[in-house]
């Protein structure tokens, strides 16, 4: 063996796995998932977050600690269960100190003993500066065993480019009556799904009923598009065929 040999990457250690198994359709919190949720007002955003964190078929009890930063959490009745479940780690105002304290705490552990955590940043556009520390995590979240880093916004361009570029999964709520916003989403992701027009057809197929959503798995090769988490609609450029429903147990 000489110095130019490419060595295999060691697999995720058992200590760093989620506390319980989860469905393969969901974002992979063992590898580390950064989820970008673009969802207009009254399209079920809080309901999706509630299910991700509290539904036993999703991630309930999969994390050691869940942190939530949301400037609307005390005004949103749908979020009352999140406040009750995670009352010690919920904030209604963002601060870099919160993120630094989370990082400092994680670093008190060895890599194999580091807690598996989730961080949710909800309704942050206009209240969190684009150079804030939370966005530093967009390219480094796996270093701190953050299994789920979720950014929820009503508009795509309110999200810093570093988040958009590193997102492993994207959720787009419906109905979205803002044609200009849909056009921006199509421009951002259309190249992965055979162009803007085809992407919009996929979105419309996913958004058949109120509170439906389009779910993209961008860490797949080729990327995949789902109606909610269970109906596989399309695989990206490598295949390009429409697919049958996938049963979600």
Q: In what order do the strands lie in the sheet with 33-38?
A: 90-91, 65-70, 117-122, 146-153, 33-38, 169-173, 213-217, 224-227, 231-235
Say what the pLDDT of residue 95 is. Answer: 94
> Coil, strand, or helix at residue 214?
strand
Q: Which residues contact 60 (CB under 8 A, 6 or more apart)?
A: 53, 54
- Cβ contact 130:15 at 8 Å: no
**In the numeric block, which tokens belong to residue 230?**
């269970």
Say what the pLDDT of residue 13 is. Answer: 55
Say what the pLDDT of residue 127 is. Answer: 80
Q: What is the pLDDT along the chain (249 residues), one digit of tens a residue?
A: 456 777 666 665 556 778 788 999 999 999 999 999 998 878 789 999 999 999 999 999 999 999 999 988 888 888 899 999 999 999 999 999 999 999 999 999 999 999 999 999 998 877 888 889 999 999 999 999 999 999 999 999 889 999 999 999 999 998 888 889 999 999 999 999 999 999 999 999 999 888 899 999 999 999 999 999 999 999 876 544 555 444 433
Say what the pLDDT of residue 15 is. Answer: 60
Nearest to 120 by CA among 89, 151, 75: 151
Model confidence, pTM: 0.88
């Amino acid at each position: 063996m000489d110095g130019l040999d490419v060595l295999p990457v060691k697999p995720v250690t058992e200590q760093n796995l989620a506390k319980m198994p989860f469905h393969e359709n969901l974002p992979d919190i063992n590898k580390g998932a950064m989820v970008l949720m673009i969802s207009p007002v009254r399209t079920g955003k809080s309901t999706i977050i509630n299910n991700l964190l509290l539904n036993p078929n999703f991630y309930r009890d999969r994390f050691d600690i869940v942190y939530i930063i949301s400037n609307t959490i005390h005004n949103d009745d749908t979020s009352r269960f999140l406040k009750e479940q995670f009352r010690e780690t919920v904030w209604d105002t963002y601060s870099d100190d919160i993120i630094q304290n989370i990082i400092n705490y994680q670093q008190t552990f060895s890599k194999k003993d580091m807690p598996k955590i989730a961080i949710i940043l909800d309704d942050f556009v206009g209240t969190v500066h684009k150079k804030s520390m939370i966005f530093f995590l967009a390219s480094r979240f796996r270093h701190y065993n953050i299994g789920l880093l979720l950014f929820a916004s009503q508009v795509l361009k309110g999200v810093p480019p570093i988040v958009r570029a590193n997102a492993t999964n994207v959720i787009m709520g419906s109905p979205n009556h803002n044609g200009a916003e849909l056009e921006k989403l199509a421009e951002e992701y259309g190249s992965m799904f055979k162009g803007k027009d085809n992407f919009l057809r996929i979105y419309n197929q996913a958004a058949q009923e109120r509170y439906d959503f389009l779910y993209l798995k961008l860490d797949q090769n080729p990327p995949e598009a789902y109606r909610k988490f269970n109906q596989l609609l399309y695989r990206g450029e490598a295949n390009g065929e429409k697919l049958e429903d996938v049963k979600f147990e």
